[in-house]
Amino acid sequence: MTAQDVKGLWHVALRVTDLQRSQAFYEGFFGMKVVWAPDPDNLYLSSGSDNLALHQLPAANVADYRGLRAQFLDHIGFIMGSVEAVDRLFERVERGGVKIVKGPKRHRDGSYSFYMADPDDNVVQVLYEPNISHR
């Protein structure tokens, strides 16, 4: 396997407790659109290049997930085109009452980001990264 064989990590799948609520979150804050809804428990969103699958967690399993105090997934991230775009989204998130995990911060490498939580407390980084934000 070579680096030329791998195109990228363009697909993430999350289990969610409320499919419609999560759909609204990712559509509303990140402009993702539904590309496939094969059944009432599964939904596939895309930005055109990045793809997010949302899988409804069966009600009988929700308590198992709510009781967890940690998760293996540290965070997912959305790359933004500018520092100003990060700030604009941060303002919308604040106004929307979304949980802020870490406020906006300039990092040593010149990147700029904040962290928020999705409806199931998955951490989402909103990031301007000068080396990749303009690709």
Q: What's at 91, amino acid-wise? A: E
pTM: 0.90
Determine the Cα–Cα distance for residues 3 and 66; give it in Å rounded to an integer: 38
Considering only residues 126 and 10, tell me which one the structure prediction assigns the higher pLDDT.
126
pLDDT confidence of residue 89: 97
Determine the Cα–Cα distance for residues 50 and 128; give it in Å rounded to an integer: 16
Domains and CATH numbers, the chain: 1-69 (3.10.180.10), 74-135 (3.10.180.10)
| CA 6 to each of CA 1, 132, 134: distance values in angstroms, whole numbers, following the listed order | 8, 17, 21
Considering only residues 37 and 131, tell me which one the structure prediction assigns the higher pLDDT.
37
High-pLDDT (> 70) share of the chain, %? 96
pLDDT confidence of residue 16: 94
Sheet holding 33-39, edge to edge: 11-16, 51-56, 42-46, 33-39
pLDDT confidence of residue 63: 80
pLDDT tens-digit map of 11-51: 999 999 999 999 999 999 999 999 999 999 999 999 998 99
- Look at residue 69 and tell me whether its pLDDT is greater than 70: no
| CA 10 to each of CA 1, 21, 61: distance values in angstroms, whole numbers, following the listed order | 18, 22, 27
pLDDT confidence of residue 98: 97
The tokens of 49 are what? 């290049």
pLDDT grade, residue 81 (50/70/90)? Answer: very high
pLDDT confidence of residue 99: 97
Query: Mean pLDDT in the chain?
Result: 92
The tokens of 23 are what? 């759909």
pLDDT grade, residue 3 (50/70/90)? Answer: confident
Instruction: Give the list of residues 6+ apart from residue 74 with CB closer than 8 angstroms, or none.
Output: 123
80-85: long-range contacts, CB 8 A cutoff, minimum separation 24: 80/126, 80/127, 80/128, 80/133, 81/128, 81/133, 81/134, 82/128, 82/133, 83/112, 83/128, 85/128
